Structure formats: C-alpha cells, structure tokens
Structure 1
Amino acid sequence: MNILFNILILGIIFTPLFGFILITFVKKTDFNALRIIANLTGIITFIEAIILLIFYNKLLCLFQYVFVFNWLNYTQLYFTFGFDSFSLIFIVLSAFINCCCFLACWNNYLKGESKLFYQSFLIQEVILHLVFSVMDILLFYVFFESVLITMFIIIGIFGSRERKVRASYMFFIYTLLGSVLMMLSILFIYFYVGTTDYLSLLTVDFSHNLQKILWLTFFFSFAVKVPMLPFHIWLPEAHVEAPTVGSVILAGILLKLGTYGFLRFSLPLFPYASIYFTPLVYTIAIIGLIYSSLTAIRQTDIKRIVAYSSIAHMNLIMIGLFSLEFAGIEGSIVQMISHGLVSGGLFLLVGVLYDRYHTRLIKYYGGVVQVMPIFVTIFLVFTLANMAFPTSSSFVGEFLIFMGTFNSNMIIGFFATTGMLLGGVYSLWLFNRVCYGNINLHYIHFLKDMYSHEFFIFIILLFVIMLIGIYPVFLTKILDIFSGNILLLIINNI
C-alpha cells in the first residue's frame, strides 16, 4: 500500500510533466493528438489526487506522505514536501479545474499555437501542485513565483484583445515586486534560525517586534495575490485580456495562493502579529469588499463584472480568516473552494458567449434567452450560486464566515454582510441585461446553444457546487482537524 501511495504522490507531480514531454514530440499541426494527450493527462492526475484524498487519514493533524531530499549537502536546505488536508484539497481543486480547462478547449484551435498552450498549462499544473505540497518556505517562494512565467505566456500570447501584452506585464510586475520583501525575509529567517523547514519554524518563538516586521513583508506578497486594495489593479485587466480558460485558472486557483499563504504561513508562524494587525486587515478587506462590489455595478464588460466580483469574494475570505474563529477559518476554506468552482464556471459561461458573438460588451446583448435557453438556465444557476443562494457551496462558506465574524466583531460582520448584499445587485442586473429584454437582432443570431462538451463541464461543476451546498459535511470533516490545529498554533504561540 505504501508503494502505491508513493507512486500516486509522484504521479501528481510527474503525470503533468510526462504529458508535457509527450506533447513536445507531437507535431504542432496535429491538434487532435495534442488535445487528447492534454485531456488524458488532466484526467489521470485528477484521479490520482482523488485516490490520495480518499485514503488520507482525516484524524491526524500531521503532514502525511512526506518526502525529504537533501537539496544542498553543506546547508540545512531540504526539498521536503507532503500533504495535509488543506493542501490536498487544493491539489484536487487544481487538478479538477485543469481538467475543465482542457475540455473547454476541445474545439478551440488557439490560433495555431495549441502546443505551447497545452505545455504552459501542464507545467503550470506541476508548479501549482508543488506550491501546495512543499514544506520549505524558500522552495515555496520559488514555486510561488514560478507560476508568473506560465501565466505571463498564457495572457500575453493567447489573450483575446489588443491590450493583452500590457495586461501580462502588469500582472507579472505587480505580483513579482510584491514578493521581493518576502524573499528578503525568508533569507533573514534562514540566517536567524538556520533552516527554512516549515515544521521546524513552527517551533520557533519569534519576538513580538520581529513578528510584526516579518508579517508585514509576507503580507505585501500575499495581499497582491488575493488581491487586496490597493494592489488589485492588475486583476481586472488580466481577466479581461486573458483567454477564457486563462481567466478560469486565474480565478479558480491563482487567487487562492494569497489566502493559502496567509493561512499556511502568516497565521501559524507569526500569531502575535496576526492578531496585532487584524484591525488593519479588517479595514482593508471591508473597503475592498464594498468598493469592488460598487465598481462591479457600473462596469460595461461582462468579464470585468465577474473579475470585480472575485475581488469582493476574496476580501470576504480574508475577513473570515482573520476572525480567528473556528467557523470563520473553516468557512473561508470552503469559500475558497466554492469561489474556484463558481467563478470558474461564470468565466466559462462568458467564454461561451464570446465564442458565439465575439464581444463582451453588455450593450450588444439582450434577449439571449430566446436563442440560447439551455445556456440561460445554466447561467441563472451559476448567478444564484455567486449570490450564495441556499443549496449552493457559496452559501455554506459565507454562512460560516459570517458566523465566525459576528462572534469576533459584530461591526465588521455587519459591514461584511452589507457588502455581500451588493453582490445580488450586480449579479442579477448582469443576468437580466444579458438574457432578457428585447433581442438585438444586429448582434444576436440563432447559433448553437450549447455543445456537448460544454454542457458536460457545466453539469459536473454544478453537481459539485450543489453537493457541497446540500451535504457540506463530507468537506468540513476533512478540514475540521486542520482548522482546529491552526487555532491551537495561534493560541499556544501567543
């Protein structure tokens, strides 16, 4: 059994890498072979992740399936990676969303550059799985920043509009500069403690003043990825210019790297500073939540509305994390997963419209229900899920976040709920303007409603969203030990 687990662990990392190598030897013009290899690679990786999650011991708070390699003989730097419930859940989410992205490109020839596109996505999947499994903060930083390279290629080359190069540079520069201070702090930690091993650092008692300095340097890096105000400017631009599946992976996984970093490193390593700076996080998150919701209402591009919606939801997640309550932390993790599914589905729906009518400006739409009734039905369900309608996964996540936030600070809870009420405004207004009203015959034609592979993607996404919304226990059971352990680490190290 241990041999099987070792094969599965290595498979999660090396299966996408093997797919990348196979694609390298396929002709650039053989689109059929390229898409088959990419889809099979994604499915196999997802199955491996699911098997590991099924056999994961949910009663242990320790890391499981740990691998340790000596990285440099004359240093205390080791290549260590392993899984706990938190990291394994996000590896499953990453593998699942990549499967959806590969399938969504089934009929898309990607301007004749399918080979580079699939290679970029497969390498990105390898890097993401390493980010979620590495147990060394120096190597975490390496993989954390390596994601920029593949996303830079995806936006800059496969973007849909003229400003794609500008958007890719903005994404790259914003996120890279935000991480410079974290790199300096990691080097300081290495010389101060003598190691960058995560488990070893959990036992180190940093002084209160040192915690404040280190927390701030990590904060700037993770806040850009979330994104929090005023570091959010790159996100709407990147979403609008990225290809559809680029937006899906950006919203579904890459935005979670920031909140993952806060929960994995900032809270347990610097508990005193996390409590000290909680008012700062609350203030920025509340302003970001309300500002992005109001900004979404006045947008004319469908993708920009969904992008600002993502900023609002990610700031709500930050409020839940820093409530420092069990319900708030667990609700934030559930909401991270839910946002990856719901927001990814919304971007895919926008992509369906763009493929048919080659515009994302709302003024050109209207009466879509008359020509695409199946699409509109699915769009309605995803819109309700984005509003945290009961029986959706977002309802579970937001309910737990509000429960934890009201227990921690009722004023912040009031502003958080008020901000999310605005989500119903821009969500329903977007749906109404696109789907109902008089049909614009100059732009809206009777084209194919929904292809079979598109319908399959949305049905699978909705099944998972509804499953979490109706029976969340199967997910919260996996996360209970981790959420409780984070609180214990904070309490014991203050």
Structure 2
Amino acid sequence: MSYLLLTLLLLPLIGSVLVFAWKNPASKYLALGIAFAQMLLTFYMLTGFDFKPTVDGVLQYEINYPWSNYIKSNLHFGIDGMSMLMLLLTNILTPLIILSSFNEKPGYRNTFYGLILLMQFGLIGVFTSLDGLLFYIFWEVTLIPIWLIAGIWGQEDKKIQFTTRFFVYTFVGSLFMLIGLIYVYNHSASFALTDLYNADLTSGAQTVIFWFIFFAFAVKLPIFPFHSWQPDTYTYSPTQGSMLLSGIMLKMAVYGLLRWLLPITPEPILGLSGQIVLVLAIIGVVHGALIAIIQNDSKRLIAYSSLSHVGLMTAGIMASAILTVKGTLMIEGGEGALIQSFAHGINVVGLFYCADILYKRFKTRDIRQMGGLARVAPKFAVLFMVILLGSIALPLTNGFVGEFILIKSIFDYSIIAAVIAGTTMIFSSVYLFRFYAKAMFGEGDEEVLASAADLTGVEFSVLASLVVFVIFLGIFPQPILDMVNSSLKFIFTSMMN
C-alpha cells in the first residue's frame, strides 16, 4: 500500500510542474482538479487506516529506501494518526483555498496555482517524513512558494519588506533547527526518527538542542515574542496566502513540537526550559487576544486571534509534557492541540475568506467603515456566524472540544495557569462579536449596500464546505481523538524512558 503514499506525495509536485508549464487561464481548473484528487485519495487512505489504539508507534503506508549511506539518511515516509490528521487538514483546505481564488484574476495565474501545489507537496513531505534530514528539506521547501505568493500577489506597497522579514525569521530559525538535528545525528546511529529519539545526549546538550530546535518552531507558530513578523505578513499577503500560512503552515510547528522536539529532548522539559516555554505560550494567549480586541483592520484582527489560539495549543502541549516527564503519562495536551489544530485550520481559513468577502463589498478592511451587510446578504450572515461561533469555541462547534481539553490539561498542571489561559474563550468572544457586529449590523452606507450582493456560487461553496466541518467535528470529535491516540501514547511514553 506504500504506492498510495507515494502517489499522494508526488501528485502535487507533478501537478505543479504541469500548471507552471500551462500558461492558460484554465490552469486554475487543472490545479483544482489535482487538489481535489489529492483530497479524494486522502479520504480513500483514511478508509484503510487502522484506528486501533496501540502504544508501539506502528506506521502505515510506509516507504523506506536508502538515500545516502554516507550521511545515513533514508527516503523514509510513513503515516500514523498524527500524520493522517495533518494530511486531512492539508488536502481538505488546499482545494478550497484554490477555489476561493476563482473570482479573482491574479496575474501570472499559472504560477500562482503552481506555487500553491508546490507548497502542498512540501506540507505533505513535512507531515510524513520519518528522517531528520528529509524533514528539514521539506520544511524549507514550504518556505519558498509561500514567500513568493505573499511577495508577488500581496497587497500594499510594503509587501516586499514584510515578506522579506518573514523569510529571514523563518529561514534563520530553520538553520538553528538544522544545526540541532545534525548535533543529535552525530550522537545517534542515523537520521532515522527512532535513532534520533535514542541519541546519547547529556542533559546540558539536550537543553541546547531543545532551544535550537524550538526556535524554529516558535517562529513558525509563532509564539510570543517571536511573532513580530506575523501580523504584517498575514495582513498584506493575498487572501490565499493568509489562508495557507494560518490554516496549514503554522500546524507544521505544532506537529514538529510533538513529533521531533519533545521526544528527542525530554530532560529540559522538566527544568527551567519547559517552564519558560509554558509562560511564553500563556503570555501569547493573553497578548494576542488583548491586541485583537483593539484592532480595526479585519485581517490584522484575525492574525492576532491566531496568535492567541496557537499560544493555547503550545501551553497545553507543554503542560502535559512536563507532567509526563515527571512520571505521570498525560497525553491530553497533545490530543487537545491536534484536534484544535484541525479546528483552527478550518475556522481561520473561513475567517480570512469572510474578511476577503467583506473587503470586496466595502472596499476597505477597516471594520469601522462597514455595517448593515446582514440586510442584503443573509446567506453570508448565517455562514459567517457559524464559522465565528466555531472560533469562539461554542459547545457543539469544532473549536469547543480542543479548547476544553487544552484548558483541562493546563489545569492538571496549574490552576492559576489554566485560569489565565482560559481567558482566551472570553476575549475571543469580545473581539469576534465586535467584528461581526461592526460588519453585519448597524446603519451602514446605503449607497454601498445598494450595490452589495449576497454570496456568489464560489463564495457559498467554500464557506458552506467549511461550515460542514465546523458542525460535524463539534458533534462527532471522537474519530479524531481515536486517530491520534496511538501516536501520542507512543510519543509521550518515549519521553518517560
């Protein structure tokens, strides 16, 4: 069955080459067809996926071929529950992101869609790589297309400045990660994931490696204070770039924390390093939410909202990791972070698309200059509200289960930390309801509203698809928890040894 994973990996790469070469407006349909085929293939692989909970870290659809005996690295790919969840997120959102651009007329459109497919290739590589060097290579592959998408098709005159800062931040972080992985490799048998887990590292070396690798993930998430690139990049990227960055790309870091960082360097988690990361994450939760409350730019508001949510994911992971290294197996933080990663991906893509729809109607991102759209766009008002409710973690929506588990995992570590982190549910209600009220209710400019229309077919298709996941995952979250249970037990158990 390894051929299925090979197909999943190579199809977007081959597709991107074809789309790059086809300089025709119809290239968008080819890109959408390839992305849709990826989604169907992922669902087919899901039907053959074994959900049976184990603690042995068994991989499925595995590919393992020698690549370089000199550096002891293999072309090693495989899927477990964590990988499958991230593949589902990537391959569900990519066709919707491509479809969301169909009302646009981007210049060099074949290049635009080719870059999206190239990024999809890199993301799939990141989520399935089981070799440290391979993981780093795919991590870097994802950086180039999103940098070009943001820099070429971004908005405002300063887009190059902002996207260059994003590139420098993430590239430097990646270099630190590479240095860390090479050091671990020099103290292990090969770059294979299991060998890196079993590397012979002193406590001091683990602490240094922890911070080298964590820096790359902290920038990508981002968490406070490594977030200064994020608001501007999210704001001035094209809508599809913002969707890719927030909906999928930052999940690489959540995945990396669990798959690569914590099992390789468990000892620093118990010391000051673990405490610092937990504190920074909780600061990010509050900092992002408070700044989002005072934002009037719709995209910047969503950017700071994302900062707050990923802070909660990181805090939940670290709380469970600290308790596990102390001797009590706790996987709840990992469960909450993964299900919330999936939910956040759906919700934040929906919010950015809603912001784009509002921009098209009002010709501004300033929410103070909006108002009254619910009167002329009732379908949009309903779908926007459902996505918003998922983002504020209303019970029976997709955001509730993950946030509840995360806060519970932090509570098991510290009641005070849980109370502070839990303010995100209150603050998110404030800034998101303010956003909705400003845009959808009130008087509004009658001249603008007279020319405003409800959702087009493309807009309705994208938002309705996202709403299905908001509701379905809110009612039936157990399949995701079952999916990731085996992987997390293996990872957290390895931290105890």
Three-state SS of the structure 1 residue aligned to 2:201 is: coil
Alignment partners' CA distance in 2, 1:238 and 1:198: 32
The alignment partner of 1:86 has SS state of: helix
Q: Secondary structure at the match of 2:142?
A: helix
Q: Which amino acid aligns with 1:417?
A: G
Match of 2:87 in 1: 91
Q: Does 1:167 align with 2:172?
A: no
TM-score where L is the length of structure 1: 0.95
Partner of 1:20: 16
Shift of 1:194: 4.1
1:485 to 465, 486, 490: 490
SS in 2 for 1:192: coil
Aligned with 1:438 (options 437, 443, 451):
443
1:64 aligns with 2:68: no
Aligned partners of 2:162 and 2:232 also within 8 Å: yes
CA shift, 1:412, in A, is 0.8
Counterparts in 2 of 1:444 and 1:164: CA distance versus 1, 3 Å:
farther
For the residues of structure 1 that align with 2:355 and 2:450, how far apart are their CA atoms?
A: 16
The match for 2:144 is 149
Q: CA deviation at 1:22?
A: 2.2
Number of the residue aligned with 2:380: 375
DSSP-derived class of the 2:388 partner: helix
Given that 1:189 and 1:195 are in contact with CA atoms closer than 8 Å, whether structure 2 keeps it comes out as no
**Residue ranges of structure 1 left out of the alignment (5+ in a row):** none
Which of 445, 448, 465 matches 2:453?
A: 448
Q: 2:2 aligns with which of 3, 6, 16?
A: 6
- Over residues 176-217 of structure 1, what are the superposed CA-to-partner deviations in whole Å (9 max), with x where a residue is unaligned? 112222221222222232421112222334222211111011
Contact persistence 1:393–1:467 (CA under 8 A): yes
Take 2:255 and 2:226, find their aligned partners in 1: how far apart are those partners?
Answer: 17
CA distance in 2, matches of 1:333, 1:359: 34
1:299 aligned onto 2:299 = no
The change in CA–CA distance for 1:407 and 1:442 in structure 2 (over 3 A counts) is same
Post-superposition Cα deviations, 1:78-131, rounded to whole Å, max 9, x if no partner, equal: 221111110121011101110101111122211x31111011001111011001
**How far, CA to CA, are the matches of 2:449 and 2:5 in structure 1?**
48
Alignment CA distance shift 1:155-1:339 (3 Å): same
Larger relative contact order, structure 1 or 2 (CA cutoff 8 Å, min sep 6): 2
2:324 alignment counterpart: none
Could you tell me how far apart the structure 1 residues matched to 2:284 and 2:248 are?
A: 20
Distance 1:486 1:460 in 2: 33
Q: Name the amino acid aligned to 2:77.
A: F
Equivalent-residue separation in structure 1 for 2:490 and 2:184 (angstroms): 23
Aligned partners of 1:42 and 1:80: how far apart in 2? 24
Q: Secondary structure at the match of 2:446?
A: coil
Q: Is the 8 A contact 2:12 2:120 kept in 1?
A: yes
Please, what TM-score do these two structures have when normalized by structure 2? Answer: 0.94
From 345, 348, 352, the counterpart of 2:353: 348
Q: Secondary structure at the match of 1:69?
A: strand
For residues 199 and 142 of structure 1, the distance between their equivalents in structure 2, rounded to whole angstroms, comes to: 18
Task: Kindly report structure 1 stretches of 4+ aligned residues shifted beyond 6 Å.
Answer: none
Structure 1 residue 346: Cα displacement? 0.5
Say whether residues 1:39 and 2:32 are aligned partners.
Answer: yes
What are the superposed Cα offsets for residues 460-488 of structure 1, whole Å, 9 maximum, x if unpaired?
Answer: 11111211111111111111112222221
How many residue pairs end up in the alignment?
484
Letter in 2 for 1:14: L
CA distance in 2, matches of 1:358, 1:81: 46
Choose 326-335 or 304-313, whichever is displaced more: 326-335
The answer to whether the aligner puts 1:49 opposite 2:45 as a matched pair is no
Question: What is the alpha-carbon distance in structure 2 between the residues aligned to residue 70 and residue 327 of structure 1?
Answer: 36
Q: Which residue of 2 aligns with 1:421?
A: 426
User: Given the alignment, which residue of 313, 318, 342 partners 1:317?
Assistant: 313
Task: Please give the alpha-carbon distance, in whole angstroms, between the structure 2 residues aligned to 1:448 and 1:487.
Answer: 51
Native 8 Å contact 1:365 1:443 kept in 2: no
Counterpart of 1:270? 265
1:74 is paired with a residue whose SS is coil
Q: Which residue in 2 is equivalent to 1:465?
A: 470
Q: 2:406 aligns with which of 401, 406, 425?
A: 401
- Match for residue 109 of structure 1 among 105, 110, 113: 105
Please report how far the alpha carbon of residue 443 of structure 1 lies from its aligned counterpart in structure 2 after TM superposition.
4.1
1:227 offset after TM fit, Å?
0.4
- Partner Cα distance (1:25, 1:419) in 2: 46
Once residues 44 and 483 of structure 1 are traced to their aligned partners in structure 2, the CA distance between those partners, rounded to angstroms, is: 29
What CA distance in whole angstroms lies between the structure 2 residues aligned with 1:480 and 1:445? Answer: 52
Identity of aligned residues (%): 31
Matched, 1:234 2:246: no
CA distance, structure 1, for counterparts of residue 410 and residue 224 of structure 2:
20
CA contact (8 A) 1:390 1:469 kept: yes
| Amino acid of the structure 1 residue aligned with 2:95 | C
User: Which has the higher mean CA deviation after the structures are superposed, 300-309 or 185-194?
Assistant: 185-194
